[in-house]
Structure 1
Amino acid sequence: MSNETFRKRGHVESGHVQTFTRLEEYIIRGLAHHISQNEEVSLTFLAEECHVSKSTVIMAVKKLGYQGFDDLVHNIRFNAQTSSGVLLPGKLVEGDCEEIVCKLADRLRLCEGRRNFIFTGDRRTSDVVARYMSRKLAMFDLFATMSTDYAMARREVLECGTAFFILHRELPRRAAHEQDAGYGMGMLRSARDAGFDIVAFSDDPDRRAAQEADLLVRISPNEDEDVDLFVPKTLMVFEQALTHYAQRRSANGE
């Protein structure tokens, strides 16, 4: 991010374009230099480096259109992560994302007033997804219990709804143990026999349980061996489906 980029961000206030004093220009040049070197500086460090008070630095930053120094740092981090694809990966799923999201929203309808559960393929990564999904579903009065207990797949008085399977293939460097391709099949078949609709989120094309799901959300595989994006990708698809579901309920006056 260059000094000129900062200058162009100067916003209009009371009908006049913000102007910078020589001291503010000096502060902005120093800030731009650190950013161009991928160096993150604190408010205190920048103030001391420029031999000014913290309030002077904040005033210069606000003239750039930010609410304060913290807002500036947040935007720099967000833009850097977005451009690198770490925070917002471009490709979430294999296939038509919009179509998959709509189908997933249909499955959320099947959860209403029924017994649902979330099965995780591993307890180190996928449990994070399951806990998040369970909490978010509860906000819409949809209840899904996290479980690997076969008893959850039995027929009971309450009608069966949807069984969500989180089946993640961990990065080779991080996997503590190998899971065979058939892992989860017993639970899936028990759930299907009991009458559950099966939804699987998986980035493992060899996982047989994923292949036999009623709806398979094929999360795009990791492109970087050092960065595991299964969790954020899965949650982003899930959030999009929740948005569709909420919009449908609103349209129906629910």
Structure 2
Amino acid sequence: MNLDISKMVDKYQLSETEEKILLYIINNIENVKDIGVRGIAKENYTSTTTIMNLAKKLGYSGFLDMYYNLNFTLKQKKSHFSCQKNNKYYGVDLEELLALIESKKISDFINLLVENKGEIIYTCGQGFSDPIVRYITKKLLVLGFNCIYSEAYESYDVNAIKAKLFITVSKSGETDFLVKVSESAKKNGIKVVSFTGDVDNTIAKISDINFKLYDMNTIDDRNKLATSFYSNILMLFEFLIGIYLEKNQKN
């Protein structure tokens, strides 16, 4: 997958050539010092002056200063965000995050994403779950999925839009509207994936794949108390997307 550096391009007003060079340096950070300025210029059909000007634009004193800073930043990020280091993922303990989740559910979900890359994916949430589902939707959209989000009060019929997959989030797993949509989807052969709290619930039972996460305040229906439930769903979803991307790259 190509790295998106559009915000950096806008911030420093980089030209197309400068953007291309910067991406080349980032993608070849392990070897770019040995390649050198002349080698980079040759590979990108440009001049060494263009590369030096790029370094200046980014606020570095020269090519080596740019290389060392980018190399340090990329290595630090990779180390910090690695899901393999000390069983942590983005600083979250994987054992805690995945404590209630069977590995088969993870592989089944990844397979569902692969199978439905060109199909319509329908998403819906309500209350505090709404922004979480919106995030999931946007993440899938930027990854090229055909994802449609619906407000809970809208009368969209999950079957009418010919969706193949329905994804929802519900802390209680008993939200009436979401239960009805899940039942409707299931009845019409649409796969249902849900993220819910750890207590047995209706949506979990309906779902083809249900990811349960520990809910520290099960009876706090109005979400007045502090909780890690919603943030953990985002972390879990990013973890799942990471696995999906790794599988895609290998294929």
Shorter-chain-normalised TM-score: which range?
Answer: 0.5 to 0.7
**Structure 1, gaps ≥5 residues long:** 1-66, 68-74, 76-86, 170-178
SS in structure 1 at match of 2:92? coil
Larger RCO, structure (CA 8 Å, separation 6 or more):
1
Q: Which one of the candidate residues 119, 136, 140 is aligned to 2:139? A: 136
Once structures 1 and 2 are overlaid, which stretch shifts more, 192-201 or 220-229? Answer: 220-229
Partner of 1:126: 129
1:88 aligns with 2:107: no
SS in structure 1 at match of 2:240? helix
SS in structure 2 at match of 1:184? helix
User: What TM-score results when the alignment is normalised by the length of structure 1?
Assistant: 0.53
Alpha carbons 1:153, 1:194 under 8 Å: kept:
no
Distance 2:163 2:177 in 1: 22
Alpha carbons 1:203, 1:230 under 8 Å: kept:
yes
Distance 1:152 1:204 in 2: 28
Distance 1:189 1:128 in 2: 22
Partner of 2:235: 236
Q: Residue 205 and residue 250 in structure 1: after superposition, are their counterparts in 2 closer, same or farther (change >3 A)?
A: same
Paired amino acid for 2:188: A
Partner of 1:199: 193
User: Which protein is richer in helix relative to its size?
Assistant: 2
Once the two structures are superposed, residues 21-74 of structure 1 have per-residue CA deviations (whole angstroms, 9 ceiling, x without a partner) of: xxxxxxxxxxxxxxxxxxxxxxxxxxxxxxxxxxxxxxxxxxxxxx9xxxxxxx
Give the deviation of 1:137 after TM superposition.
Answer: 0.6
Alpha carbons 1:183, 1:209 under 8 Å: kept:
no
Paired amino acid for 1:232: S
1:165 aligns with 2:177: no
Alpha carbons 2:133, 2:169 under 8 Å: kept:
yes
SS in structure 2 at match of 1:202? strand
Distance 1:114 1:244 in 2: 20
Partner of 2:158: 153
Give the deviation of 1:109 after TM superposition.
Answer: 1.8
Give the deviation of 1:220 after TM superposition.
Answer: 1.4
Partner of 1:184: 178
Q: Which has the larger radius of gyration?
A: 1
Give the deviation of 1:181 after TM superposition.
Answer: 6.7
**Structure 2, gaps ≥5 residues long:** 1-71, 73-79, 81-90
Q: Residue 97 and residue 180 in structure 1: after superposition, are their counterparts in 2 closer, same or farther (change >3 A)?
A: closer
Distance 2:217 2:92 in 1: 14
Give the deviation of 1:245 after TM superposition.
Answer: 1.0
Alpha carbons 1:101, 1:237 under 8 Å: kept:
no
> Which runs of structure 2 are paired with 1:1-254 in the superposition (5 Å)?
88=92, 91-96=96-101, 98-120=103-125, 122-123=126-127, 125-147=128-150, 148=152, 149-156=154-161, 159-169=162-172, 184-203=178-197, 205-222=199-216, 226-252=225-251
Distance 1:250 1:180 in 2: 38
Distance 1:181 1:151 in 2: 17
